[in-house]
Chains A and B, each alone.
Chain A
Amino acid sequence: MSKYLLNKFLFTVDRDPDLVERYREDPRGTVEWWEAEYANRLLSCHGGEASTWLRFEDAEREALAGHDYPKLFELGAHPFLTLTLFIAMFERDHEPMGFQTEYARRLAHMTLPYPDIAT
């Protein structure tokens, strides 16, 4: 698994309003573009210093492309990052607090110990 890269996707999309909307409207296309163009950027450097080796596992790519936040939780993605990004995309479609409680309901099958979120 590449939990670091999974979290990097969530982090870089969540903090950019254009990417939040792009990921909401075109999840698979955004994930494919991001992995090809963005995954190996060193966030504090220009493009000439990029990494060369970061890529998603298939299950991670599919979970992101499917907006599948229960699966992201199972894979050990950082739950704070997952929650904030999915609130940004889908809270608008629900009553106040409705999305957050639906999110909890969809994870109701999970019990302690939760998946390890260490990268």
Chain B
Amino acid sequence: MAELVAVIASTHHPFYYRASTATGEDRPPFADEWVRKVEAFRETLTKARPDVLVMVGSDHFHQLWLDNMPQFLVGKAPFYDANWYNEEREFGLPRMFFTGQEDLSAYILREGLDAGFDLAFSNELRIDHSITCPIITLRPQNDLPIVPIYTNIFAPPLPRPKRFVQLGRTIRELVESWPADKRVAVIGTGHLSLELGGPRQFGPHGPDPEFDRKAVEWISSGDIEGCLSEVTLDSLHLPGNATHGFMDFMLMMGVAGEGAKADYVDTYDLFHTMEAYFTWYPNGGVA
């Protein structure tokens, strides 16, 4: 059976690539500290020595659209092109290319259906920055095959938070029952408080530092029940109109498990959002 060697949850700030590669007067004052934090975070994946990455993220209206919107979708392709014209335009992201782990995609689709999730699939998925950003930060050599799993976090009606947790638990069960001698890391990205296209956007901090503080505590302590007792689809509007991306963090809490304390926690308070990085080692170590 495959081994789940690391569970990683992270924000996916699309400006990291530009900030970290800028030089001279173009380099923002926060870049060096941001790079230092990301490189320390990267080491938590490196030392887990994964063979395969299951990548949880959300398409930002790049390919998936309101004419046919899946709630949860698994990519099942041999290769994936990545990043879009409007991400290149707005964030300076490079075009990227990934190899798929098709047999694990097929396994998750078949077994996921039988586990109660009517998963959509795509044989021609172009990845966006919710998955390319964690590759840039955590695995810049981009040398591992991936299984992309997309969630709908901003095209209402959305699945409720509990459903994201349930999918996380199921993804873990499926990874650990996959009959392959592979070391698998599950990496998911989302947001803490965030406002986009509204009056609270692009301030000096995230729109709701108190929510961010509580969210980091829920995640780092694995307090799924506490989180579910306070977070609803309606309440997630309060910390910022794009905060529903937090449900991808809740999915990753489901992968890590109830009460599972993160082995690595770091945050970085940047303009308009709080960066947050978490790693769990499910087997208690990385041997």
Contact = CB atoms under 8 A, between A and B. Distances in A.
B241 A79 contact: yes
Contact of A80 (B84, B197, B202): B197
Contacts, number: 83
B89 A88 contact: yes
A12 to B, nearest CB: 9
B157 A73 contact: no
Interface residues of A, number: 39
Contacts of B61: 11, 78, 80-81
B270 interface: no
Interface in A48-106: 73, 78-84, 87-88, 97, 100-101, 103-105
Identify which of B85, B157, B196, B198 gathers the most chain A CB atoms within 10 Å of its CB: B198
Given A100-B202, A104-B203, A105-B199, 4 more contacts: A78-B197, A80-B61, A84-B86, A103-B197
Interface of B: 60-62, 65-68, 84-86, 89-90, 154-157, 196-203, 237-238, 241-242, 271
23 contacts: A8-B66, A14-B86, A15-B86, A17-B85, A17-B89, A73-B197, A73-B198, A78-B61, A78-B154, A79-B241, A80-B154, A80-B242, A81-B61, A84-B86, A100-B202, A104-B199, A104-B201, A105-B199, A108-B199, A109-B199, A112-B238, A114-B241, A119-B66
Interface in A1-38: 4, 7-8, 11, 14-17
B198 A107 contact: yes
Identify which of B66, B157, B271 gathers the most chain A CB atoms within 10 Å of its CB: B66
Given A44-B67, A118-B157, A119-B66, A110 B199 contact: yes
Given A14-B86, A78-B61, A83 B199 contact: no
Contacts of A44: 67-68
Interface of A: 4, 7-8, 11, 14-17, 42-44, 73, 78-84, 87-88, 97, 100-101, 103-105, 107-114, 116-119
Nearest to A110: B199
A81 B266 CA distance: 31
A112 to B, nearest CB: 7
A67 to B, nearest CB: 14
Contacts of B90: 84, 87-88
B89 A104 contact: no
A15 B86 CA distance: 6
A6 to B, nearest CB: 11
Contact of A82 (B68, B85, B197, B200): B197
Given A15-B86, A88-B86, A110 B65 contact: no
A55 to B, nearest CB: 17
Contacts of B85: 15-17
Identify which of A7, A79, A82, A109 gathers the most chain B CB atoms within 10 Å of its CB: A79
A111 B90 CA distance: 27
Nearest to B69: A119
A101 B67 contact: no
Contacts of A97: 202, 271
Identify which of A4, A87, A104, A109 gathers the most chain B CB atoms within 10 Å of its CB: A104
